[in-house]
Amino acid sequence: MNTRILIVGLGQMGARYLQGIGNLNNKLEIDIVEPNKIAYKKAIKIAELDSKNNIKVTTLSMQELKGHYNLVIVATSSSPRAEIVANLAKLISSDGWILEKVLAQSLEQLKLIESSLKGQMAWVNTPRRVMSFYKDFKHLLNNCKTLSFKVNIQDFALGCNSIHFIDLVSFLSESKVDSVKIEAKSNWYKSKRLGYLEFNGVVSASYQNGSTLSIDNSPNDSISISCAVANREFQIIEDQGVFANGEKLISGRLSLQSELTADIASSILTNETNTFLPTLDESINQHKSFFNALSKNAILSKNLRNIWPIT
């Protein structure tokens, strides 16, 4: 029997998912929902599916979807995602769902996703925790779980990227996020993606075991990511490795989405998800903490009515 996979959304991330899925050796039936014909053609070209004899690709509208899928990937932008997931859950079933982040734009949208997929296996793609780079770093920490993690990157897009590090520290510390605080140094400004906004400042998180996270995108001459634990401090350069006192302890770089997707898909298809992406429940709790911090910030919450235009 062929493996059935559904991908909804073939933008930049969706194209990389498709490229990675193409590396599976299974006999695949891939259904795609993408109304933008230009985006569809670009993604097919990136994935080089014309050379794959084990893959059959079909484009469908939402209304044409039916039956059971082995894997569903929702790679749309954040604004329509909750409604799309809710509609999908009425039309199809699946052994596993992967949702892109930022999951949604409000607490109400998070609730809709949560209720729509209740009882189903679903994960959110904040993938640093499944990368060899950070798995090796966690091993290096040697069960020291209370840590102080700092990210200083000028002009870093805090809205769409903070959740990556909020989840990473949860993974490294093996602790749930307790609260998030935001010190905004600007009002919202237009992001690179049309229709979405970003902000400048500092995002801080505390965790139930005492671990902390600070993400600062203030002007700075250098990029720095550090992790202090048990009287030792590590410098992390994500395209080179991990260092301490000038000595390189780990060589490596972050994995690309196209490099990760085949393994992520295989884990779901073979039901080997014990050490994996954060579950939907885990990620929703992280998103709730982040959204609550936005709502408590007087600058960022003004006039937005708890709808956060980030993706």
Mean pLDDT by 10 residues, the chain (311 residues): 95 96 94 96 89 91 97 97 98 98 98 97 98 98 96 95 98 98 95 93 98 93 90 96 97 97 97 96 98 96 92 93
pTM score:
0.97
Cα 175 from Cα 178, distance rounded (Å): 9
- Residue 247's alpha-carbon distances to 95, 138, 233, in angstroms, are 44, 17, 12
Cα 124 from Cα 167, distance rounded (Å): 10
Cα 9 from Cα 84, distance rounded (Å): 10
What integer pLDDT is reported at residue 127 of this predicted model? 98
CB-CB contact of 306 with 291 (8 Å): yes
The encoded tokens of residue 168 equal 């990473």
| Distance, C-alpha 86 to centroid of its chain | 19
Which residues have CB under 8 Å from 83's CB, separation 6+?
Answer: 112
CB-CB contact of 242 with 236 (8 Å): yes
What integer pLDDT is reported at residue 117 of this predicted model? 98
Q: Which pairing describes strands 232-237 and 212-216: parallel, antiparallel, or unpaired?
A: unpaired
Cα 201 from Cα 128, distance rounded (Å): 23
Query: Looking at the DSSP assignment, which residues form a beta bridge with residue 21?
Result: none
What integer pLDDT is reported at residue 51 of this predicted model? 78
